[in-house]
Amino acid sequence: MTNTITNTNFNFPGQKSVYKGKVREVYRLENDLLVMIATDRLSAFDVVMPRGIPYKGQILNQIATRMMRDTEDLVPNWLLATPDPNVAVGVACEPFKVEMVIRGYLSGHAAREYKAGRRLLCGVTMPDGMIENDKFPEPIITPATKAEQGDHDEDISREEILDRGIVTEADYLQLEDYTRKLFQRGTEIAARRGLILVDTKYEFGKTKEGKIVLIDEIHTPDSSRYFYANGYKERQEKGEPQKQLSKEFVRQWLISNGFQGLEGQRLPEMSDAYIESVSERYIELYENITGETFEKADVTNIQNRIDGNVKAYLSSI
């Protein structure tokens, strides 16, 4: 099996703190710099799998940084440089405590709510008479926030965000405007690749100067759902499942093996062959989303590679 990176313990010049998320590890340095490392960890149902997926971190980082470059004319972002295939360096900022989820189609969580008979999602009314994976008349924004207990995302409406003072009205209107612009650009990029951008989430922060910027990842298979455009209409007319391009295949495998992240459930064992197949699917995702052949980075010693590349970049600025 190929080497993977599932945990880091770097000591960069000027380092002040480290935050470890489900997949990314963020090193905060002096001068308001962040070094974000995309590991090969795989998360599903808010649970991190025990084994890493070869090249996953490189794939996520390279898609996200590419999409940042492809949208920076519309929305400012935190990114400054990508000194290593797994690393992005950018400006530190204060994250907003809401994720801006935008949906162009009745899929995933929205479809599950709809099937349960609910027509109101995050304060937005979904039309009657839709079937799963139908296109909404226009994209809907359905924000999420972290639960006070645990790390699960919770639905929240615009009204509740403003009533609770989580975001000011002026800032929230800016977040909505940026979200719609990014989704429109993402939709156009996907269409050129023969894909449909179904839904996605964006995260934003505010710099110390008070500027709102896009942070984290954008239009990756971990944060977005894609359909193949070819055959979409025919599959809808026949009531067939859509051909997806996302990490949904991992969730489905876990479900079929009796795991949905619920208490008392045991994670199924992932064999070498299955790990390799997930890696190959992520490479397929990369090539379909970007339209380019994936070039595997040298993984002989990923820790040393990252350490050397980041320190060389920091010494050059």
Is the pLDDT at 148 greater than 60? The verdict is: no
Cα(265)–Cα(287) distance, integer angstroms: 34
**Structural domain count, the chain:** 2
Same domain, 87 and 102: no
pLDDT of res. 47: 86
Name the 3-class secondary structure at 33: strand
pLDDT of res. 151: 55
H helices within 164-201, ranges in order? 169-192
Task: Give percent of the chain with pLDDT exceeding 90.
Answer: 81
Same domain, 67 and 159: no
Same domain, 39 and 87: yes
Same domain, 173 and 48: no
Q: Is residue 85 part of a domain?
A: yes
Q: What is the CA radius of gyration of the chain?
A: 20
Q: Which of 253, 250, 196 is nearest to 225 (CA)?
A: 196
Q: Is residue 7 part of a domain?
A: no
Mean pLDDT for all residues in the chain? 93
Domain boundary among 245, 274, 304: 245
Same domain, 239 and 260: no
Mean pLDDT of 10-33: 94
pLDDT of res. 1: 62
Cα(1)–Cα(138) distance, integer angstroms: 45
Q: Is residue 5 part of a domain?
A: no
Phi, psi angles (nearest 5°) of residue 215: -130, 180
Cα(218)–Cα(80) distance, integer angstroms: 15
Q: What pLDDT, in 10s, does the model give residues 160-205?
A: 999 999 999 999 999 999 999 999 999 999 999 999 999 999 999 9
Mean pLDDT of 72-90: 97
Read off the pLDDT band of 111 (50, 70, 90): very high
Comparing 111-125, 262-276, 300-314, the range with the smallest average pLDDT is: 262-276
Same domain, 108 and 166: yes
Total residues found in the chain within this entry: 317
Instruction: Give the distance, in angstroms, between the CA of residue 88 and the centroid of all CA atoms in the same chain.
Output: 15
Same domain, 232 and 309: no
Q: Is residue 30 part of a domain?
A: yes
pLDDT of res. 45: 83
Same domain, 130 and 198: yes
Same domain, 214 and 260: no
What tokens were used for 184?
């429109």
Cα(143)–Cα(182) distance, integer angstroms: 15
Same domain, 105 and 164: yes
Q: Is residue 292 part of a domain?
A: yes
What is the pTM (predicted TM-score) of this model? 0.90
Q: What is the DSSP letter of 99?
A: B
Domain boundary among 245, 268, 285: 245
Same domain, 90 and 173: no
pLDDT of res. 147: 61
Q: Is residue 159 part of a domain?
A: yes
CATH of the domain at 28: 3.30.200.20
Q: What is the b/e burial string over 129-165, where b = at least 16 CB atoms within 10 angstroms of the residue's CB?
A: ebebbebbeebbbbbbbeeeeeeebebbbbeebeeee
Cβ neighbours around 194 below 10 Å, total: 12
Mean pLDDT of 244-249: 79
pLDDT of res. 152: 62
Comparing 128-137, 150-159, 193-202, the range with the smallest average pLDDT is: 150-159
Domain boundary among 245, 267, 283: 245
pLDDT of res. 43: 87
CATH of the domain at 127: 3.30.470.20
Contact 279, 55 (CB under 8 A): yes
Q: Which domain holds residue 51?
A: 15-94+249-316
Which range has highest mean pLDDT (134-143, 151-160, 269-278)? Answer: 134-143
Same domain, 89 and 109: no
